[in-house]
Amino acid sequence: MKKLVYILMVPLMIAASSVSNAQDYAEARLGLPGDNLNLFAVMKLFQESETLEGFERTLNDQDSRINNLDLNGDNYIDYIRVIDQPDGNVHVIVLQVAINARENQDVAVFIVQQEANNQVRIQLIGDEALYGKNYIVEPNYEYAGETPNPGYTGRTTVVQGQTVVVNRVTTVEVAAWPLIRFMFLPTYVVWHSPWYWGYYPRYWRPWTPHYWHYYYGYHYNWYPHYYGYYRHYNDYRYPRYHSYYYGSRRNYSPYVATNISRGTYRTTYSRPETRQEGSRVGRQAYATTARRDAGTSSRSQQVSKSTSTQGSSTTTTRRANPTRSTEATTGRATSTRSTETTTGRSTSTRSTGATTGRSSNELKTTQGTVNNANRRSSTDSRVNSAPERKSTQTTTSRPSSPRQSSGSNVRTETKRTTSGSSVGNGSSSRRSSGSTESRSSGRSSGSEKSDNSSKRTSSGRR
């Protein structure tokens, strides 16, 4: 008996699933040309864009797979231009298609309204000819007056067979979208697309549109994001929507209205088998985008963590040891100066030592020469002392040009040479000689005088 019941239940379950799938299809499509431009995808692109010009370019890019509209029936994708029509603190941004040289058709319109305290509300309203009445997409705003729970991660809902986590946003968060921040800057220049019928940008190449089932299968993979951050809404938040835009600025094409009434656009639903291929391509694209977004968020988190860690460690160190850091800095500067002073002193000491060594050697040579001269002629020390002085001075005052010093030593030695011109012969070579020769000359002359005086005394005694 149980087996019989099970056998009877299987066909019923299959029939129920087929009915639910049919309902999903019925819910997913409107039966209007707007089915080939997913406004949830358009809202997501708007949130990620930085300028209206960039938004327009990406919207008409084949790789984005957002624009699948062919309203004029030429079997090529229509170019969607973006036009901003401000109304005070409200930006009315129209998405429009040139049907022919005489007719334009508005596809959808963004209403970006700035409220008090820099809060912004945004709605994307589909044109009623393409989407029906009151087809409005907006972010999942927090309820007015509701206190958000920090531990609440979102409730779940089921959208066309997929479990979706609903994420609430605030009007302050919407005001932080890059494009919205840009539009409310004082330097913003109102964007009006320069392209029109027969005149399009060079980078744009129209392509053949996909059947709706392929398009639906592709975007089905993004439904968790679409319905997780955005929602359908039934009311217009902009009170001047009808008076400012719909009643005076809306563009309506009779050609499109005629094709809708004739059912011309229904041929896009004729290939349901293409959904599988669109779903496969969409899964690959969604996985690539998810990996890229995950990598970008992880890198940004690592950078923010490292920056905050470095900042906190630096602040802690400065607060903990402000005196030590000052002392260390002062000590380093003092040690550097003392090192430089010590080095300078040691250098001057070495040069003095070298000079003294050279002077001692020359002194010994001079003394040996004087002694030999005194031994040869000991009768008259005064006569012999004069040539000895001359020879001593000549020997001592010969400079070695390659060893001439530079800087302050040259100036000091020049002064000394000038002051001691009575000892030298006044030549330019003596003035440029080093302090070593001047000192050795003075010392050798003094030693000669002492030797001569001692010898004169010994000769007198004799």
pLDDT digit string, tens, across residues 351-376: 333 333 444 444 344 445 444 444 44
Q: Is residue 342 located within the same domain as residue 453?
A: yes
> What's this model's pTM, rounded to 2 decimal places?
0.61
| Helix, strand, coil percentages for the chain (3-state, nearest 5) | 60, 15, 30
Q: Are 451 and 403 in contact (CB under 8 A)?
A: no
CA–CA separation, 4 vs 11, rounded Å? 12
Q: For 407-459, write each residue's pLDDT tens digit.
A: 444 333 433 333 343 334 443 333 434 444 434 344 444 444 444 444 444 44
The residue with greater pLDDT, 171 or 297, is 171
The reply to whether 221 and 137 lie within a common domain is: yes
Confidence label for 223 from pLDDT (cuts 50, 70 and 90) = very high
Cα–Cα dist 210/200, whole Å: 22
Degrees, nearest 5: CA angle 284-286-290: 120
Most confident of the ranges 5-9, 226-230, 438-442, 451-455 = 226-230
Segment of 95-104, 141-150, 433-442 carrying the highest mean pLDDT: 95-104
| Domain boundaries, position 344 | 331-461
Torsion-angle region of 148 (φ positive above 0: left; ψ -120 to 50: alpha; else: beta): beta
DSSP notation for 28-79 = H--SSGGGGB-HHHHHHHHHH-SSHHHHHHHHT-GGGT-B---SS-SSSPPP
Strand, coil or helix: 371: helix
**Residue 218 pLDDT greater than 80, yes or no:** yes
Domain-terminating residue out of 268, 298, 321: 268
Are residues 62 and 189 located together in one domain of the fold?
yes
351 and 210 fall within a common domain: no
pLDDT tens-digit map of 51-70: 999 999 999 999 999 999 99
* Residue 108 and residue 230 in one domain: yes
For residues 108 and 229, state if they share a domain: yes
Asked whether residue 303 is domain-assigned, the answer is no
Of 223, 240, 268, which marks where a domain is finished? 268
**Residues 124 and 216 occupy one common structural domain:** yes
Answer whether residue 246 is part of any domain.
yes
The verdict on residue 324 lying in a domain is no
3-state secondary structure of 92: strand
For the chain, how many structural domains are there in total?
Answer: 2
Q: Are residues 261 and 336 in the same domain?
A: no
Would you state the pLDDT for residue 159? 83
Q: Which residues of 449-462 are buried (b: 16+ CB within 10 A; e: fewer)?
A: eebbeebeeeeeee
> Of 44, 42, 107, nearest to 70 (Cα)?
107
Q: Do both 237 and 383 map to the same domain?
A: no
Residue 70 within a domain: yes
In-domain check, residue 264: yes
Q: How far is CA 53 from CA 46, 121, 291, in A?
A: 11, 21, 27
Query: Of 268, 293, 323, which residue sits at a domain end?
Result: 268
Do 227 and 121 share a structural domain? yes
Residues 208 and 345 in one domain: no
Q: Are residues 353 and 433 in the same domain?
A: yes
